[in-house]
């Protein structure tokens, strides 16, 4: 790759050739694919959907991940979209709540609540200038740190083979995971240029080859999947019920705050600046608009993908055409189930080994934002107490058992939700210390 070609990767609008876009785009695909398809599978199981309906949920997740990403890259109406290099995908943050809603109220209640919640997100995006004061670098840095910390167990469980798998924790899984991590680590820290930029992809390729040799790759899903299938609107229907709506509305508000953190992590980590009000407003409205449309087609809520934000901050590759290529792959996979099934054959151990360092970079981006603020007792209190509640409650399984189940569903399964709420409240309640002047 020439110096001019390499520089184009770090320019949002620069033209790229296919050979430049493919390797960088593939990294985003492999980092996101399991995270995109897994939430739909988990929700489908809770709702007792057939295998055919489950396939449709996977398709809609892939298709609307692509649509939502396109919307961020190329804002519609000039304002709906951030015009930032972010990848959107079905969000794990919503999974516990969606599983609880689906198990009790049915699949239609999920998409009815999603439709209402997405409208609220659009309104939040429109008023971001007025509420952004609630989310200074101290708060957003704390949110980003909690996002990274919440992803650590995901990476470790993937490295061990995926929680619930028969061989979870086996030496073979750890061998593949650590080998994959070692390849990523080597290329990231001991190489230059293209090899450094494609470190995640290099690790996954080597890990996948080793997995093939060890017989860890199952191609049965590829054989069983169809070649082409179109999604239809209102396939799962819409059911509007007050409890699911109120529950999911809370999550949508929190996710809007989380989105501010993710957009900020992208611009700070890869572009050395804070996001503008227009970028935040457009990004949040874009997320809300894509979820509004997705609710009609049966797509679980999409959000900014932390692992892809981490990938952008690690490589600093911000060219939009890299994301365009990745989105095209997801779109094709959504309409051609066989393509999606090939991507899902990547073993969990390979994904975990390749992404653990990416999740670490997200946390350190949060630390970096927090450290830009003076570490006064007030500021350290905001960060420390917010993390203490967010992480402490999540790790203390059953600590909210005396409350209605929805309380545990909302606050007991995600470090990010409670950390965000506490950080925002403390930042408002605790005033800046005034310097004491001794006469």
Average pLDDT over residues 236-254: 86
- Predicted confidence at residue 3, as pLDDT, reads 60
Element (DSSP H or E) covering residue 430: none
CA–CA distance, 304 with 86 (Å, rounded to integer) = 7
Q: Which two tokens stand for residue 298?
A: 């049966």
Phi and psi at residue 308, to the nearest 5°: -80, -35
Structure-derived torsion over alpha carbons of residues 66, 67, 68, 71, reported in degrees to the nearest 10: 120
Does the pLDDT of residue 211 top 90, yes or no? Answer: yes
Confidence of residue 340 (pLDDT cuts 50, 70, 90): low
Confidence of residue 436 (pLDDT cuts 50, 70, 90): very low
Phi and psi at residue 360, to the nearest 5°: -60, -40
Beta strand 302-304 with 88-90: parallel, antiparallel or unpaired? antiparallel
DSSP string, 158-190: HHTT-TT-TTTT-HHHHHHHHHHHHHHHHHHHH
- Predicted confidence at residue 136, as pLDDT, reads 84
Does the pLDDT of residue 378 top 60, yes or no? Answer: yes
- Predicted confidence at residue 416, as pLDDT, reads 79
Confidence of residue 253 (pLDDT cuts 50, 70, 90): confident
Q: Which two tokens stand for residue 187?
A: 């290329």
- Predicted confidence at residue 343, as pLDDT, reads 67
Average pLDDT over residues 179-208: 85
Three-state secondary structure call for residue 95 = helix
* Residue whose structure tokens are 């492999």: 30
Q: pLDDT by residue (tens digit) across 25-37? A: 988 887 787 778 8
Confidence of residue 322 (pLDDT cuts 50, 70, 90): very high
Does the pLDDT of residue 319 top 70, yes or no? Answer: yes
Does the pLDDT of residue 331 top 70, yes or no? Answer: yes
Confidence of residue 228 (pLDDT cuts 50, 70, 90): confident
Q: pLDDT by residue (tens digit) across 118-135? A: 998 899 888 887 877 887
> Do 186 and 309 meet the contact criterion of CB atoms below 8 Å apart?
no
Does the pLDDT of residue 403 top 70, yes or no? Answer: yes
Q: Which two tokens stand for residue 392?
A: 């402490």
């Amino acid at each position: 790759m020439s110096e001019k070609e390499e520089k184009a990767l770090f320019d949002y609008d620069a033209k790229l050739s296919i050979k430049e876009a493919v390797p960088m785009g593939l990294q985003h695909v492999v980092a996101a694919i399991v995270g995109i398809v897994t939430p739909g599978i988990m929700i489908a199981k809770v709702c007792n959907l057939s295998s055919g309906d489950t396939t449709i949920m996977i398709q809609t997740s892939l298709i609307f991940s692509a649509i939502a990403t396109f919307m961020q890259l190329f804002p519609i109406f000039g304002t709906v979209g951030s015009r930032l290099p972010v990848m959107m995908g079905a969000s794990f943050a919503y999974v516990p709540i969606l599983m609880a809603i689906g198990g009790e109220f049915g699949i239609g209640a999920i998409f009815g609540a999603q439709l209402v919640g997405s409208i609220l997100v659009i309104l939040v995006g429109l008023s971001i200038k007025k509420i952004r004061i609630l989310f200074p670098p101290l708060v957003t840095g704390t949110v980003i740190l909690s996002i990274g910390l919440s992803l650590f167990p995901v990476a470790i469980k993937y490295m061990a083979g995926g929680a619930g798998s028969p061989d979870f924790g086996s030496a073979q899984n750890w061998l593949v995971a650590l080998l994959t991590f070692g390849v990523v680590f080597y290329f990231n820290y001991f190489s230059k240029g293209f090899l450094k930029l494609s470190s995640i992809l290099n690790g996954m390729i080597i890990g996948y080859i080793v997995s093939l040799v060890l017989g860890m790759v199952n191609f049965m899903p590829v054989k069983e999947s169809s070649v082409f299938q179109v999604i239809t609107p209102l396939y799962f229907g819409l059911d509007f019920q007050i409890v699911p709506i109120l529950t999911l509305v809370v999550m949508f508000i929190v996710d809007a705050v989380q989105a501010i953190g993710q957009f900020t992590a992208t611009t700070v980590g890869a572009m050395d600046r804070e996001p503008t009000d227009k970028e935040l407003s457009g990004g949040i409205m874009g997320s809300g608009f894509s979820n509004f449309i997705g609710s009609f087609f049966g797509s679980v809520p999409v959000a900014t993908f932390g692992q892809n934000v981490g990938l952008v901050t690690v490589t600093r590759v911000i060219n939009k055409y890299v994301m365009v290529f990745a989105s095209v792959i997801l779109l094709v996979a959504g309409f051609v189930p066989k393509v999606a099934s090939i991507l899902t054959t990547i073993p969990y151990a390979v994904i975990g080994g390749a992404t653990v360092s990416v999740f670490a970079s997200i946390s350190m981006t949060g630390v970096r934002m927090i450290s830009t603020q003076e570490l006064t007792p007030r500021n350290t209190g905001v960060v420390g107490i917010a993390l203490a509640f967010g992480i402490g409650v999540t790790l203390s399984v059953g600590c909210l058992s005396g409350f209605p189940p929805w309380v545990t569903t909302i606050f007991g399964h995600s470090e990010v939700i409670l950390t965000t709420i506490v950080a925002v409240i403390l930042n408002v309640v605790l005033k800046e210390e005034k310097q004491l002047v001794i006469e």
